[in-house]
Amino acid sequence: MVGDMSSVSTIGRAYAGAPSPAQAAPDDPAPLAGIACCGELPAREGLGPPLEDELPAGHLLDGRFLIQEAIGRSGMATIYRAEDRTDGGRSVAVKVPLRRVESDPVSFGRFEREGRIGEALNDPLLLRFIRVTSPKSRPYIVTEYVDGCTLAYVIHCTRPVPERDALRIASVACRALGHMHARGIIHRDLKPANIMIRRGQTLCLMDFGLAAEIDTGVRILAGLAPLFGTPEYMAPEQVRNRRNDGRTDIYSLGVILYQMLTGSLPFQNEDPWAAAQLRVTGDPVAPRSLNPGISPEAEEIVLRAMRRRPDERYQTVAEFQADLDAPERVHVTGLSGRLQAPRWRLSLQGTPLLSGALIGIGALMTLVALFLVLSLHR
């Protein structure tokens, strides 16, 4: 099952408010200062059409949050800009799940987990959640309002992103992931649409619906269990439903860096799940073959982050960040010359539609066979 496949035009810019616990001051309040592609951000990203009746402007939610407008839509929820009447009218963002999500235990569990994990995290590079202790008339999450746009929009407008800028953005993302990993939590759905570029020349990670503790149930189920996430950015172990850890996020960030540097995703296929299978059996096209302007050192960094085997990647985001911050010190080992082209391999687990069809055919054939056997014994 594919999770939120939101593009530039769907989830849009999102989230708002003031932190519940006091938030630590950032080491560098403007780590993206001087990066041209992050300097002039749009006032608003486009929105997709509403998927259900939405809260109207002027609606006062639970006597506290005055709804102003919808600012983000996805297949999971609608996000509104609102005023917090208990905090001097401060702008916040209110994320309300779709009704069908509320009625689906698995999807609603993701929504609830996002709120619990978000409230437990506290770092300037992570979206700040606001705890609501009063009774709610319906489920929703309240967060800070982020003035800016998604990295997906930046990539859409700047292809490719200049090498220096791409490495810097990835470095700051490593810092954000480092805070999560230090608390035993992995993101598991890292993608450009889940990275907000703030107008204040910094960024924040958001959408913790698939986040999980490293040492607990990060595998959904073995066999034919549905997979959650965004196939284009999944690590091979996610596609294979194997154990996930911090190196899973490193692979996903490597995919994002590849996309920034080349303007393309590393594995191409009309079926995103087929594209996901390609990373299990092979390596991406060498980045410099798509953009010769990339330095050999930057290419080495990308390919090391995207190694198929987790033990061959960067082992921590700190190690990854060290190379991003000092690419001139990177030792080029020639990874680009040892890449293996993907081989197609049928995987019922990695192709949900095909697996569902085959299971259905198998069940039908079993019923037909049973009917024939019973008919012969009459």
**Which domains, from first to last, does the chain contain?**
36-146 (3.30.200.20), 149-338 (1.10.510.10)
pLDDT(41) > 50: yes
Instruction: Give the residue with greater pLDDT, 110 vs 368.
Output: 110
Instruction: Give the residue with greater pLDDT, 148 vs 224.
Output: 148
pLDDT of residue 228: 64
- Strand partners for 92: 82, 144
pLDDT band at 24 (very low <50, low <70, confident <90, very high): very low
pLDDT of residue 22: 45
Rg, the chain, Cα only: 22
pLDDT of residue 50: 87
Provide the 10 A C-beta neighbour count for residue 201. Answer: 18
Using alpha carbons, select from 249, 177, 204 the residue that is nearest to residue 93. Answer: 204
Question: What is the average pLDDT across 352-378?
Answer: 63
pLDDT band at 18 (very low <50, low <70, confident <90, very high): very low
Instruction: Give the residue with greater pLDDT, 93 vs 200.
Output: 93
pLDDT of residue 155: 94
d(CA 105, CA 84): 29
d(CA 313, CA 136): 44
pLDDT band at 15 (very low <50, low <70, confident <90, very high): very low
- The structure's pTM equals 0.82
pLDDT(33) > 60: yes
pLDDT(143) > 70: yes
Q: What is the pLDDT of residues 95-129, one digit of tens each?
A: 999 999 999 999 999 999 999 999 999 999 999 99
DSSP string, 113-180: HHHHHHHH---TTBPPEE---S--SS--EEEEPP-EEEHHHHHHHSSSPPHHHHHHHHHHHHHHHHHH
Question: What is the average pLDDT across 11-21?
Answer: 39
pLDDT of residue 308: 95
pLDDT of residue 349: 47
d(CA 24, CA 41): 26
d(CA 184, CA 277): 28
Task: Write down how long the chain is.
Answer: 378
pLDDT of residue 373: 65
Instruction: Give the residue with greater pLDDT, 29 vs 24.
Output: 29
Using alpha carbons, select from 134, 143, 76 the residue that is nearest to residue 108. Answer: 76
Q: What is the pLDDT of residues 318-352, one digit of tens each?
A: 999 999 999 999 999 999 999 998 876 555 444 44
pLDDT of residue 39: 73
Instruction: Give the residue with greater pLDDT, 363 vs 196.
Output: 196
The residues that are catalytic are 189
Cα angle 191-192-194, degrees, rounded to a multiple of 5: 70
d(CA 259, CA 167): 12
Question: What is the average pLDDT across 64-92?
Answer: 95
pLDDT of residue 365: 74
Q: What is the pLDDT of residues 179-216, one digit of tens each?
A: 999 999 999 999 999 999 998 889 999 999 999 988 65
Q: What is the chain's mean pLDDT, rounded?
A: 85
Instruction: Give the residue with greater pLDDT, 236 vs 272.
Output: 236
pLDDT of residue 360: 63
